Amino acid sequence: MAKAALDSITKAERQAEKIILQAKEKAKRQAKKFQQLATEKGNAILRQGEKEVKEIQDYAKQISEKETNKITAEGLRQAEKIRNLEEKKLDHAAQLIVRRIVKDNGNC
């Protein structure tokens, strides 16, 4: 009877060890599966983030190009105004010089 009890206990211990081993293996497989899933999700999040960054950069580039074009156009317009103003001043100065020469030298 004691031998039967010992055999029963030994058998139960082996079964427990087998169950523990199976549980450990299952836990390892699940951990690996979850790690792979987390990696895939992380990569997907990174790709989405990179896509959003590119979209933001493209938008910022478009806005900056529009602003640059506006500023350039305004600068060209101002430069043309200055050129026209200088021409008017030069014309006026030339007329004054001609008047003085004619006045000093008489009617030539």
Per-residue pLDDT, averaged over 14-20, amounts to 96
Least confidently predicted of 7-11, 20-24, 42-46, 70-74: 7-11
Least confidently predicted of 10-19, 55-64, 89-98: 89-98
pLDDT-based confidence at 51, cuts 50/70/90?
Answer: very high
d(CA 20, CA 27): 10
DSSP assignment string, 11-78: HHHHHHHHHHHHHHHHHHHHHHHHHHHHHHHHHHHHHHHHHHHHHHHHHHHHHHHHHHHHHHHHHHHH
> Would you say residue 108 has pLDDT above 70?
no
Element (H, E) at 107: none
Predicted TM-score (pTM) of the model is 0.53
What is the average pLDDT value for the chain, to the nearest integer?
90
* pLDDT value of position 104: 67
> Would you say residue 87 has pLDDT above 60?
yes
* pLDDT value of position 82: 81
CB 108 within 8 Å of CB 102:
yes
d(CA 108, CA 95): 15
Check residue 108 and report its DSSP letter: -
Alpha-carbon dihedral sign for residues 65, 66, 69, 70: negative
* pLDDT value of position 84: 83
d(CA 34, CA 46): 18
